[in-house]
């Protein structure tokens, strides 16, 4: 294939493209695509995941743009079709989808040096991590995973985060699914839901809202009988190249009961 010009509009995908050895062909990223920092420092930013600067992106002449159903807007994808030869739309919804993602990206860039071997290595590492996680004893718990405050917001059970937590036997609340896309995937709470009193563990994510020690008491008041702890949101929500590390991190959390 001729040299591609790749734009990635999804942080998890950008990190995965670098892990596949595709950094030399990256010509654009969002401001949220920050890992690995040393590699991405010189790659131009084209806005955020929801507010892509299409004019700037067009000037960079990408041949491929990597998108995500959950992270990017449909209207962005529609606009990109006017000037981008190939859109690669990703949508991992659970940990088991990671190998298919690696294959999707491998197939798109297979002729480039090292891509096939790196995709195989990522798949092998992920499968090993999944096996390790599933071989550990599970301690079922009711979990509230908070991603925002004022209002409190959490995750539906069909999100990547919730299905990852389920690998430790942790069931997220509320008992709702959000569908393929849309706000219902991240429901808001009033703080007065009866089931909050039955939550065993509250996880305060480091992203998109940066929860810190100053929020522990407030979250404890929300769920008085729960264990409340700060967690690394990148490890628990970024799919792709970070998927294996996310599983190991989850199993450590479940085993230790602390951060």
Higher pLDDT, 230 or 255: 230
Q: Which CATH architecture has domain 141-256?
A: 3-Layer(aba) Sandwich (3.40)
> By the 8 A CB rule, do 147 and 154 touch?
yes
CATH class of 6-132: alpha beta
Reported pTM? 0.93
pLDDT of residue 259: 38
pLDDT band at 183 (very low <50, low <70, confident <90, very high): confident
pLDDT digits (tens, 9 = 90+) for 38-51: 999 999 999 999 99
Give CA–CA dist 31/63, Å, rounded. Answer: 20
Average pLDDT over residues 123-143: 95
The residue ranges of DSSP E strands in 113-182, in sequence order, are 141-146, 170-172
Q: Are strands 6-8 and 26-29 parallel, antiparallel or unpaired?
A: parallel
What average pLDDT does range 63-77 have in this prediction?
A: 96
Distances (CA, A) of 29 to 9, 42, 87, 112: 6, 10, 14, 20
The domains spanning 6-132 and 141-256 adopt the same CATH topology: yes
Percent above pLDDT 70 for the chain: 98
Q: What per-residue confidence (pLDDT) applies to 121?
A: 98
Domain ranges of the chain: 6-132, 141-256
Could you tell me the pLDDT band of residue 140, with boundaries at 50, 70 and 90? Answer: very high
Residue of 73, 105, 100 lying closest to 6 (CA atoms): 105
Residue 102 is predicted with a pLDDT of 98
pLDDT surpasses 80 at 1:
no
pLDDT number for residue 224: 96
CA distances from 209 to 56, 66, 98, 145, 204 (A): 28, 25, 25, 12, 9
At residue 2 the predicted structure's pLDDT band, cuts being 50, 70 and 90, is confident
Kindly state the average pLDDT of the residues 111-137.
96
């Amino acid at each position: 294939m001729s040299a591609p010009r790749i734009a990635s509009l999804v942080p998890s995908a950008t990190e995965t493209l670098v892990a596949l050895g595709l950094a030399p062909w990256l010509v654009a990223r969002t401001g949220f695509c920050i890992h690995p920092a040393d590699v991405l420092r010189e790659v131009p930013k084209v806005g955020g995941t929801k507010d892509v600067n299409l004019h700037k992106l067009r000037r960079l002449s990408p041949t491929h743009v990597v998108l995500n159903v959950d992270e990017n807007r449909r209207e962005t994808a529609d606009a990109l079709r006017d000037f981008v030869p190939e859109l690669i739309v990703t949508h991992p919804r659970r940990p088991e989808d990671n190998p298919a993602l690696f294959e999707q990206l491998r197939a798109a860039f297979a002729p480039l040096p090292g891509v096939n071997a790196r995709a195989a290595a990522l798949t092998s590492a992920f499968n090993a991590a999944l096996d390790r996680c599933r071989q550990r004893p599970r301690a079922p718990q009711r979990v509230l995973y908070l991603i925002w405050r004022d209002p409190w917001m959490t995750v539906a059970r069909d999100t990547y985060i919730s299905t990852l937590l389920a690998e430790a036997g942790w069931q997220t609340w509320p008992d709702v699914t959000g569908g393929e896309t849309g706000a219902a995937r991240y429901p808001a709470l009033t703080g007065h839901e009866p089931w909050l009193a039955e939550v065993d563990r509250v996880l305060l994510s480091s992203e998109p809202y940066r929860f810190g020690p100053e929020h522990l008491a407030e979250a404890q008041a929300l769920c008085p009988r729960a264990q409340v702890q700060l967690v690394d949101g990148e490890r628990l929500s970024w799919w792709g190249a970070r998927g294996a590390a996310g599983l190991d991190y989850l199993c450590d959390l479940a085993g230790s009961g602390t951060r």
